[in-house]
Amino acid sequence: MTQQVKRAFKYRFYPTDEQAAELSRTFGCVRLVYNKALEERTRAWYGEQRRISYVQSSAALTEWKKTAELAFLSDVSSVPLQQALRHLQTGFGNFFAKRAKYPRYKSRKKSRASAEYTRSAFTWRDGRLTLAKMTESLDIRWSRPLPERPLPEGAEPTTVTVSRDSAGRWFVSMLVEDTIAPAPATNAAVGLDAGITSLVTLSTGEKIANPRHERRDRARLAKAQRELSRKAKGSSNRTKARVKAARVHARIADRRRDFLHKLSTRLVRENQTVVIEDLAVRNLLKNGRLARAISDAAWMDLRMMLEYKCAWYGRELVVIDRWFPSSKLCRSCGTVREKLPLNVREWTCECGTVHDRDVNAARNILAAGLAASACGDGVRPQRESSRTGQSSMKQETQRATAGIPHL
């Protein structure tokens, strides 16, 4: 059964000098309006315990444009400025709902330079995009065109976001309503064990090597950072050196994202059920010896891709509890080993079974995920049972490895 989803298509474009100047002004105005509205709302909240709504912020924006100091806000399209206020409203909504921290100010040097245009502020005709306050269409490079069209057949963008990254590259992201058909059904299921040496180990026994994109470009990145540190602050040479370093970072991020997209797409296409662990990556990054390698692996990016692709193509993604002892559990007898240091990659159980640490973990994750999916609950450690005197964890893991749901 097909479903309608909102899907973004991101392309690189090359603006003319006039377009680049107009967009740069727009980015600056968006940042100014966002920060000024945040300042007003912060003053009202902490000084008077009073909330300011989006309607009030929008009315204030109209008054700002009438002042001599901020009259230049009328020189750019009003839509990106209004969208900045809407984004701020969303940020405060998440804050008051305790889903996020208090909104922060946008920095000229560190924040992402972007502007969002809704349908009334751009023209889409015959595959050409023209933004408000511009006479020429954008020179977009259709790097991944679909059959005969850069967007799905019959789809038109509802929102366009223009951005410029720290490497000086310009991008346009077009949000469209797309129809996605579910992938052909299959009986295959796979468990994934994330790692560093092997980025992912599958329950089938296959190990997908970690490309280590950051390590491959580490020498180039170190050289660019050294050159940057030697330039005088505020000089044009420092700006050029900063862009060079940003390009190395962008190259690493692009290659990592491309690899994860291909891997996640393959896993979703080949399997009806995908089982992963609920890893606490933020806590794992506190390990100073492994933090760099864990960041380079980007496990959370892979999980995010699996989540929305499974939802798109009618697959099931099962996330088991992070405390499930997948590596220390023997699949043959259900015994849980007390300690298993990271340097032990292969171990032998009391029953004589020899386990590859990663493959054993992936297979236990799959069994636990299938059991959890059958009973509609997660696999979590429990305290010792006072009635039987046996650890409920051992009972749970034995059921999981046997494929029997815990009822």
pLDDT in tens, 91-102: 999 999 999 999
The pLDDT assigned to 345 comes to 85
Distances (CA, A) of 252 to 11, 218, 245, 257, 324: 18, 10, 11, 9, 33
Catalytic residue, candidates 178, 193, 214, 296: 193
Rg, C-alpha atoms of the chain? 26
- At 251-275, the pLDDT tens digits run 999 999 999 999 999 999 999 999 9
According to DSSP, the β-strands at 3-13 and 170-180 are antiparallel
Is 258 one of the catalytic residues? Answer: no
Catalytic residue, candidates 22, 214, 296, 358: 358
CA gap 367, 273 in Å, rounded: 11
- The one-letter amino acid at 249: H
Distances (CA, A) of 337 to 297, 349, 365: 27, 8, 16
Query: What residue ranges in 215-363 does DSSP mark as E strands?
Result: 273-277, 316-320, 346-348, 354-356
Is the whole-model pTM more than 0.85? no
Write down the mean pLDDT value for the chain.
87
Helix (H, G, I), strand (E, B) or coil at 255: helix
Query: Is the pLDDT at 389 greater than 70, yes or no?
Result: no
Tokens linked to 372? 């959890």
Tell me if 79 sits within 8 A of 121, measured CB to CB. Answer: yes
- Place 398 in a pLDDT band, splitting at 50, 70 and 90: very low
- Place 332 in a pLDDT band, splitting at 50, 70 and 90: confident
Q: Of the given ranges (55-64, 222-231, 281-290), which has the lowest mean pLDDT? A: 281-290
CA gap 15, 23 in Å, rounded: 9
Catalytic residue, candidates 22, 116, 214, 277: 277
What are the residues whose beta carbons fall under 8 Å from the beta carbon of 297, sequence distance 6 or more?
194, 195, 196, 199, 210
Query: Is the pLDDT at 403 greater than 80, yes or no?
Result: no
- Measure the CA dihedral 284/287/289/295, to 10°: 40
The pLDDT assigned to 148 comes to 45
Order the strands of the 113-118 sheet from edge to edge.
Answer: 113-118, 159-164, 170-180, 3-13, 140-141
The pLDDT assigned to 155 comes to 76
Size of the chain, expressed as the number of residues it contains: 407
Tell me if 161 sits within 8 A of 115, measured CB to CB. Answer: yes
Domain ranges of the chain: 3-180, 189-319, 321-402
Query: Is the pLDDT at 317 greater than 70, yes or no?
Result: yes
343-369 in b/e burial notation, b at 16+ Cβ within 10 A?
eeeebebeeeeebebbbbbbbbbbbbb
Instruction: Of 93, 122, 116, 97, give the one whose Cα is nearest residue 33.
Output: 116
Is 358 one of the catalytic residues? Answer: yes
Query: Is the pLDDT at 331 greater than 60, yes or no?
Result: yes
| Percent of the chain topping pLDDT 70 | 89
According to DSSP, the β-strands at 159-164 and 140-141 are unpaired
Q: Of the given ranges (122-131, 356-365, 388-397), which has the lowest mean pLDDT? A: 388-397
- At 40-71, the pLDDT tens digits run 999 998 888 888 999 999 999 999 999 999 99
Distances (CA, A) of 141 to 13, 150, 151, 170, 262: 6, 10, 13, 11, 21
Is 321 one of the catalytic residues? Answer: no
- The one-letter amino acid at 358: D
The pLDDT assigned to 397 comes to 45
